[in-house]
Amino acid sequence: MAIKVGDTLPADLKLKEMGESGPKDVTLGEITRGKKVVLFAVPGAFTPTCSMKHLPGFVEHAAAIRAKGVDEIVCVAVNDAFVMDAWGKASGAAGKVRMLADGNGEFTRAMGLELDASGFGMGKRSQRYAMIVKDGKVEHLLVEPGPGLNVSSAESVLAKL
């Protein structure tokens, strides 16, 4: 069952983030506790729409999003921490968007937002979406109804803040 507005994210669920000495675990509780967070998910790092529009929109509008009271902007993909780190560096995300890896898809499955991209040779991935989370609770959930970037863009998120 997919997560919905009003649900609380599982605080103990772990994602990976590149640290100074390699990948490290971070929990959803650490990320969201006492904070307002914009979390968006993409089907894959370095893929066309994700790299040309979705992530760049959040990088470009990071200051405007933070000006609306957001403490953290987080990008999640079913990729490993090394790929997410490289993608963040290549996209200029440092200091603007926190790049977190859901390498095994555990977070994505827990959200109920898994996408079967096997037909494209990509296996199980995440649907494209964005959510606004306040103190661990989902306030807005913007799931793309199909291919493309329409409802989960940085501009759409800004309109909900």
Range 5-16 average pLDDT = 96
Q: How many domains does the chain have?
A: 1
Range 38-42 average pLDDT = 97
**Alpha helices (H) along 80-149:** 81-91, 106-111
E-strand stretches of the chain: 14-19, 22-27, 36-42, 72-77, 98-101, 114-116, 124-126, 129-134, 137-143
1 lies in a domain?
Answer: no
104 lies in a domain?
Answer: yes
CA distances from 79 to 64, 104, 150 (A): 28, 8, 23
Residue 75 falls in the annotated catalytic set: no
The range of the structural domain enclosing residue 45 comes to: 14-160
Range 51-76 average pLDDT = 96
CATH number at residue 59: 3.40.30.10
pLDDT of residue 117: 67
135 contact partners, CB below 8 Å, separation of at least 6: 32, 33, 34, 35, 36
80 lies in a domain?
Answer: yes
pLDDT of residue 50: 80
pLDDT-above-70 percentage for the chain: 97
7 lies in a domain?
Answer: no
CA 36 distance to own-chain centroid: 14
Region of 156 on the Ramachandran plot (φ > 0 left; ψ -120 to 50 alpha; else beta): alpha
136 lies in a domain?
Answer: yes
Range 52-77 average pLDDT = 97
Catalytic residue chosen out of the listed positions 31, 50, 84, 115: 50
Please state, in angstroms and rounded to a whole number, the distance separating the CA atoms of residues 114 and 3: 11
3 lies in a domain?
Answer: no
The three-point CA angle 20-21-23 to 5° equals: 90
Give the pLDDT confidence of 86-141 residue by residue, as tens digits: 999 999 999 999 999 999 999 999 999 887 767 776 768 789 999 999 999 999 99
pLDDT-above-90 percentage for the chain: 81
4 lies in a domain?
Answer: no
Q: Is the sign of the CA dihedral 13, 18, 23, 24 positive or negative?
A: negative
137 lies in a domain?
Answer: yes
